[in-house]
Amino acid sequence: MKSLDNINRRFILKASVSLVTATTSLAVLANSSIAITPKQPEGPFYPIKPQQDKDLDLTEVQGSTKPAKGEIIEVTGTVFDQDNRPLANAVVDIWQANAAGRYAHEQDSNDAPLDPNFQGWGIVKTDERGFYRFKTVKPGAYQVSKQWSRPPHIHFKVAKRGYRELITQMYFSGEMLNDTDALLQEAPAEQRHQLIVDFSTAKDNMAKQGVFNLVLAKI
């Protein structure tokens, strides 16, 4: 017969192994979660004028034969939830200033020229992999006040049923104005990198490309 002490020791050892396994599993689960994209203000220039052409290519306006002015870029990314799962059919809505730093918006008093060939506003849905893409131009910086100039940035609004709507802004790496921008500096220091994107030229594409992933919080 097995002694009672041997049975107890085996029971304690088995329980200890189970506890270690459970703890490890929880740690792996915790590490699989990702930080929600920091929120940013919507700003005063969200489009309010109806616009028929709101597709993924902002460099061409329906009915025009001329392209938008400025440096053409491609912004791609994936929309995730907090558990690092891609979200299909999320609505990704962007708007931005043109290459001269002006929005096609009635409230923008900037005296920079408008670009009639720049779409300025686009809406797409993510595919089954949570992926989205926009072709646009790098927006220009613009002055808010004597003490403050905004760096180039693109506004994002992302929505999906069952998740909290995310409004944020994407910034470009290497811009000196990033360091003094009041809105970018409001983002938590440890998460600020999530809003800043590095753009590089693809071998088979003349446009610079950058990846801006977005993470939504569940309701």
Helix-then-strand count for the chain, H and E: 2, 12
Q: Which of 160, 152, 151 is nearest to 132 (CA)?
A: 160
Question: Average pLDDT of the chain?
Answer: 88
pLDDT > 60? residue 143: yes
Q: pLDDT by residue (tens digit) across 188-219?
A: 999 999 999 999 977 666 789 999 999 999 99
Q: How far apart are CA 171 and CA 47, in angstroms?
A: 20
Q: Is 153 a catalytic residue?
A: yes
Q: Is 193 a catalytic residue?
A: no
Q: What is the pTM of this model?
A: 0.84
Mean pLDDT score, 96-112:
97
Backbone angles phi, psi at 120, to 5 degrees: 80, -15
The Cβ of residue 104 has, within 10 Å, a number of other Cβ atoms equal to 20
Q: Is 171 a catalytic residue?
A: no
Q: Is 155 a catalytic residue?
A: yes
| 87 neighbors 130 (Cβ within 8 angstroms) | yes
Q: What is the dihedral of CA 89, 94, 99, 101, to 10 degrees?
A: -170
Q: How far apart are CA 184 and CA 186, in angstroms?
A: 5
Q: Is 105 a catalytic residue?
A: no
Active-site annotation holder among 105, 132, 153, 163: 153
- 201 has which bridge partners? 208
Mean pLDDT score, 39-49:
95
DSSP character at residue 152: S
pLDDT at residue 142, as a whole number: 98
pLDDT at residue 32, as a whole number: 61
Active-site annotation holder among 132, 150, 163, 171: 150
Active-site annotation holder among 102, 105, 142, 171: 142
Active-site annotation holder among 103, 132, 163, 171: 103
The Cβ of residue 72 has, within 10 Å, a number of other Cβ atoms equal to 18
Active-site annotation holder among 102, 105, 155, 171: 155
| 142 neighbors 76 (Cβ within 8 angstroms) | no
